[in-house]
Amino acid sequence: MRNRVIICEASEIIANGLAEIIDSMAQFDVVSRIDSPDRLSERITSSDANLLIIDPSMLGFQNKDFLFQIGKEHPQLILIALVTSYLDHASLTPYNGIIEINDTKAKIIGKMNEFAQSDNARKNDDVELSKRETDVLVAVAKGMMNKEIADLMNISIHTVISHRKNITRKTGIKSVSGLTVYALLNNLINESELI
Amino acid sequence: MAKKKPHFSKDLKLAELLAKDRRLLQLLPRFGIELGFGDRCIDEVCRMNNVSADLFLIICGIYSDDDFRPSPAEIQRIDMSGLLSYLKASHRYYLDDRFPHLEEHFQRIIEACGSKYGPMLSHFYDEYKREVMRHIQYYEEEVVFPYIEELHEGKRDNSYKINEFRHNHTNIQDTLDDMMNILLKYLPGDILPKERIEISLDIMELSDDLNRHSLIEDHLLIPYVESLENNLP
């Protein structure tokens, strides 16, 4: 499978230089180049990208929340930091990998191959909610009963219960009111959807 | 294997007992034991405060050792008349002291969350409070305790059995765990981190206390009331 790369970087020199290196690799296509993180999530969806290279300094202080949200919406996305200036180490924790401004071409190629092989989907499986689990969580947060959820999603009550067990295992939250807070904090629902 | 004897004996100095497990300090006001006990031993301090030293030691045993279970013979033998007032005093401590304290902290966090997360956190807290109230005030104080008092008077109410009371306490602790997860894992990091750490430590302590309170209800209150039920004609 070819990897579809989005580059989000304000400097045209850096963005073009990096795009040239990546385009020279057989397994990678740069499908989109943007100079600001505005509407990033939509751009990822419309270009069907599986790899995002982004300069963390563009995100400012809300770095983590923003990336968390992007990660939620695109669970398969591999997230790479393009580090062009000094950054504190903690701000790099949400990323799957790092490319630095002074990396050589050979090093960047080596890293890109490594990133593409890191199985992001599998890594997420242990902690991130699956699409189905997220749907169940949203229904629970809205106050629906297991039977109603089963009917709505066309699955058995048994399956609903097993999803709910997984949700509790992954989030560490058992009560319905706690799950509602979790869903709101992660923007899975908004206040107006609650009864 | 359940241990038969409490770890502590009546001739131990109360001060030494408290040095062995400082959490037992919380039990003193629940028994109505006054401070200023000097170097007196447990037996003497209990007598001065009209507390059964046997009951005090059994509760200290359950409180400081998760595996400790009083034997049925022991439960039959000792004077349990102080048990209900101990449990009621514990409830007062949770309702009048701990929860308002928690609420005060939580309120500050709710305010700091602003209009985005504030209302739902406030809703979460209210739900939690309602659950605690339902459990402690309505259920235990209005159903279980009056039932036990009737048994003491030799009356039998066939519509209720103490066995229904088992496993009733889990909900309060589950929600406390949820509260901690939300505070530590899910609220944005920049909202009152110092306050959140403080309140989390308080929650851990309260959760531990409630756990032991449940153990006392499960391993002392329920077997005791069952023996009352069985002994009625």
The residue ranges of every structural domain in chain A are 3-125, 131-193
**What does the pLDDT look like over A157-192, one tens digit per residue?**
888 988 898 899 889 898 888 999 999 888 888 877
Q: Distance of alpha carbon B39 from its chain centroid, rounded?
A: 27
Question: What DSSP string describes B114-169?
Answer: HHHHHHHHHHHHHHHHHHHHIIIIIIIIIIIHHHHHHHHTT---TT--GGGGTT-S
In angstroms, the separation between the Cα of residue B178 and the nearest Cα of chain A is 5
Q: How confident is the model at residue B171 (pLDDT cuts 50, 70, 90)?
A: low
Q: Which CATH architecture has domain A3-125?
A: 3-Layer(aba) Sandwich (3.40)
- Spatial distance between the Cα atoms of A59 and A82, rounded to a whole number of angstroms: 12
Phi, psi of A54 (to 5 degrees): -135, 140
What residue numbers bound the domain in which B40 lies? 14-76
The contacts of residue B92 (CB under 8 Å, 6+ apart) are: none
Q: For the residues B201-207, what does the mean pLDDT come to? A: 91
Give pLDDT, residue B195: 92
Indicate the pLDDT class of residue B167, thresholds 50, 70 and 90: low
The sheet that has A97-100: what strands, in order across it?
A28-34, A3-8, A51-54, A78-83, A97-100
pLDDT at B164 exceeding the cut of 90 = no
**A83: its two tokens:** 């580090």
A65–B contact, CB cutoff 8 A:
yes
B178 and A186 in contact by Cβ < 8 A?
no
- How far is Cα A130 from Cα A120, in angstroms, rounded to an integer? 13
Query: Does residue B99 sit in the same domain as residue B199?
Result: yes
Contact B175 A178 (CB under 8 A): yes
- Torsion sign over Cα A170, A174, A177, A178: negative
Q: Are residues B201 and B146 in the same domain?
A: yes
**Pairwise CB contact (< 8 Å): B181 & A175:** no
Domain co-membership, B34 together with B60: yes
Same domain, B48 and B108: no
**Is A173 touching B (CB cutoff 8 A)?**
yes
Cα separation, A113 vs A25, whole angstroms: 9
Query: B24 with B126, same domain?
Result: no
Contact check, Cβ <8 Å, B121/A191: no
Mean pLDDT rounded to a whole number for chain B: 87
User: What span, in angstroms and rounded, lies between the C-alpha atoms of A77 and A3?
Assistant: 11
Contacts of A173 in chain B (CB under 8 A): 177-178, 181-182
Q: B187 contacts in A (CB within 8 Å)?
A: 185
Q: pLDDT grade, residue B96 (50/70/90)?
A: very high
Which residues of chain A neighbour B123 with C-beta distances below 8 Å? 177, 180
Q: Is A27 exposed, middle or buried (0-12, 13-18, 19+ CB in 10 A)?
A: exposed
| B193-216 and B83-92 helices, crossing angle to 10° | 170
Closest-CA residue of B relative to A183 is B186
Does residue B3 carry a pLDDT above 50? no
pLDDT value for B7:
67
* DSSP type of residue A90: G
Q: Within a domain: residue B8? A: no
Long-range Cβ contacts of B210-215 (<8 Å, 24+ apart): B210/B94, B210/B169, B210/B172, B210/B173, B210/B176, B211/B173, B212/B62, B212/B63, B213/B87, B213/B90, B213/B169, B214/B169, B214/B173, B215/B62, B215/B63, B215/B66
Q: What is the largest CA-CA distance in chain A?
A: 58
Higher pLDDT, B106 or A65: B106
Q: CB distance B175–A175 less than 8 Å?
A: yes
Is the per-residue pLDDT at B1 higher than 70?
A: no
Where helices occur in A142-189 by DSSP H, the ranges are 146-153, 157-171, 176-185
H or E element in which residue B180 lies: helix B170-181
Query: Which residues is A51 bridged to in the sheet?
Result: A5, A78
The string of DSSP codes covering B42-83 is HHHHHHHTT--HHHHHHHHHHHH-TTB---HHHHHHS--TTH
CA distances from B209 to A93, B72, B125, B175, B212 (A): 36, 24, 20, 15, 5
In this complex, is the C-beta atom of A189 within 8 Å of any C-beta atom belonging to chain B? no
Nearest-angstrom CA–CA distance, A195 and B14: 54
Q: Residue A124: pLDDT above 60?
A: no
Residue B100 sits in the same domain as residue B200 = yes
Cα distance from B169 to chain A (closest Cα, Å)? 14
Same domain, B207 and B110: yes
Q: Is A172 on the interface with B (CB under 8 A)?
A: yes
Q: Which amino acid would we find at residue B231?
A: N
In angstroms, the Cα distances linking B1 to B60, B64, B65 are 19, 17, 13
Query: Chain A residue with minimal CA distance to B175?
Result: A175
Same domain membership, residue B105 and residue B36: no
| Cβ–Cβ gap B174/A174 under 8 Å | yes
Chain B contact for A171 (CB, 8 A cutoff): yes
Mean per-residue pLDDT of chain A? 86
**Measured distance CA(A30)–CA(B118) in Å, rounded:** 42
Mean pLDDT confidence for A145-154: 93
| Residue A33, phi then psi, degrees to nearest 5 | -130, 120
ipTM for the assembly: 0.72
B193 and B227 fall within a common domain: yes
CATH fit for domain A131-193, picks 3.40.50.1700, 2.102.10.10, 3.40.50.720, 1.10.10.10: 1.10.10.10
Residues of A in contact with B128 (CB under 8 A): 177
Q: Residue B190: helix, strand or coil by DSSP? A: coil
B124/A181 Cβ within 8 A: yes
pLDDT per residue as tens digits for the range A71-112: 877 877 899 999 988 877 777 888 888 999 999 999 999 999
Provide the number of structural domains found in chain B: 2
Residue count (chain B):
233
B23 to chain A, closest Cα gap in Å: 27
In a domain, B2, yes or no: no
Which residues in chain A have their CB less than 8 angstroms from residue B179's CB?
A: 178
Chain A CB contacts of B117 below 8 Å:
184-185
* Residues B22-80: tens digit of each pLDDT: 999 999 999 999 999 999 999 999 999 999 999 999 999 999 987 888 888 888 888 88
Going by the DSSP 8-state scheme, the letter that residue A56 receives in this structure is G
Mean pLDDT value of segment A5-18: 93
Residues B126 and B194 grouped into a single domain: yes
B186 to A174: CB separation less than 8 angstroms, yes or no:
no
Tell me which residue in B119, B178, B186 faces A185 most closely, judged by beta carbons.
B186
